[in-house]
Amino acid sequence: MRVVEVVTPARYQKEVIGMAGFYGAIDAWSTSGAAEERVVVRMVVSDEARQTLMDALQDLLDREPTARVVISPLDATLPRPSAAEADRQAEARKTLKTTREELYTGIAAGARLNPNFVLLVMLSTVVATIGLAEDNVAVVIGAMVIAPLLGPNIAFAFATSLGDRSLAAQAFVTSVVGLGLSLLLSLGMGLVWPVNLDSAEVMARTDVHLGSVALALASGAAAVLSLTTGLSSALVGVMVAVALLPPAAVLGMLLGKAEWELATGAGLLLAVNVVCVLLAAKVVFLLQGVRPRRWLLSAQIKQSMALYLTLWSTLLLGLIGMIALRGGVLL
């Protein structure tokens, strides 16, 4: 459950309260706003009813510049929900628990290219490069924890699901900058830092096979599933970092040492992982019902969905073909 707070012009007070009842809010009440011409309507809304209510509120208040809708977490409420309501809540938690608007707020934050993102990419790359060069698993895991590469990749898939070109462009630029910075920094360290080619951590990132494809697909799917159902994303963040940061760091290191054959394997693994994460994320967003609010835009997105899935699926099949041609062994 969440508390939905609607700051609205006073003339919409009765309509908003009526909508709360119509769309299944557990309770609703109103108070005066900071200005006399506005009122504040607060309502307790279940997980399964929240998205439809939010869509209706946006349709009603879309042209009101003074209106605002705020969603706040709710830890507990008395009286307790009935047994039937508790069962509905449990069922809702199995599917999409977070509204489109809540998802947007959280996911868009991960797509921002700011000094914190750049600093985290630099630190995680340095840590990963040292750990890989010294074959230190604990250090590599530490780099995975602080790597911020999950955000922009998931944001890109989310933005294409909503048809948000601005967010998609921002996420794309942030992702390219993050991976590019990681490659350049690891390349520079590869020029001056001794790289042990007998390191199991390094060599593991030059060998790509179907298991690598499955790992990346599972990582992207698990990341989106955690976001849409409200589960903890800490472990998922580590899984996606496994799929993206280490091969990027190994690629840069091997390019710095002019190990072209091994670098080709690391680059192929990185490309496979990026494509798999984006493809899996898109499919899960589709299955979870993440789509634009307006029906016309939804129709446009539906038309482009087949093209998007075809494009990334074709790229993945092409990369798998390259794996087969390169090594002759997929398993």
String of b and e for 14-46 (b: at least 16 CB within 10 Å)? eebbebbeebebbebebeebeeeebbbbbbbbb
Residue 267: C-alpha distances to residues 216, 247, 323 (Å): 14, 7, 11
Amino acid 187: pLDDT: 92
Asked whether residue 167 falls in the same domain as residue 278, the answer is yes
Domain shared by 117 and 190, yes or no:
yes
On whether both 229 and 279 belong to a single domain, the answer is yes
Examine the domain organization and report whether 42 and 178 are in the same domain: no
Task: Supply the mean pLDDT for the chain.
Answer: 80
Distance of CA 136 to the CA centre of its chain: 29
- Domain end, chosen from 46, 79, 94, is at 94
Q: Say if residue 201 is in the same domain as residue 281.
A: yes
Determine the distance from the C-alpha atom of residue 290 to the mean position of all C-alpha atoms in its chain, rounded to a whole number.
12
Is residue 44 a contact partner of residue 23, using CB atoms and an 8 Å limit?
no
Same structural domain, 141 and 267 = yes
Whole-structure pTM value: 0.73
- Give counts: helices (H), strands (E), the chain: 13, 4
| Dist. CA 15–CA 21, nearest whole Å | 10
Q: Are residues 70 and 109 in the same domain?
A: no
Report pLDDT for 87.
Answer: 56
The list of the chain residues with pLDDT below 70 reads: 32-36, 80-98, 230-242, 292-304, 327-331
62, 94, 126 - which closes a domain: 94
Characterize the bridge pairing of strands 38-45 and 68-73.
unpaired
Domain of 87: which CATH number? 3.30.70.120
pLDDT of amino acid 12: 84
Nearest Cα neighbor of 249 from 202, 183, 205 is 183
Nearest to 269 by CA among 222, 203, 224: 203
**Residue span of the structural domain in which 297 resides:** 101-327
Q: Indicate the number of domains in the chain.
A: 2
- Note whether 89 and 1 are within 8 A (CB): yes
The domain boundary, picked from 77, 94, 111, lies at 94
CA-to-CA distance for 281 and 87, rounded, in angstroms? 29
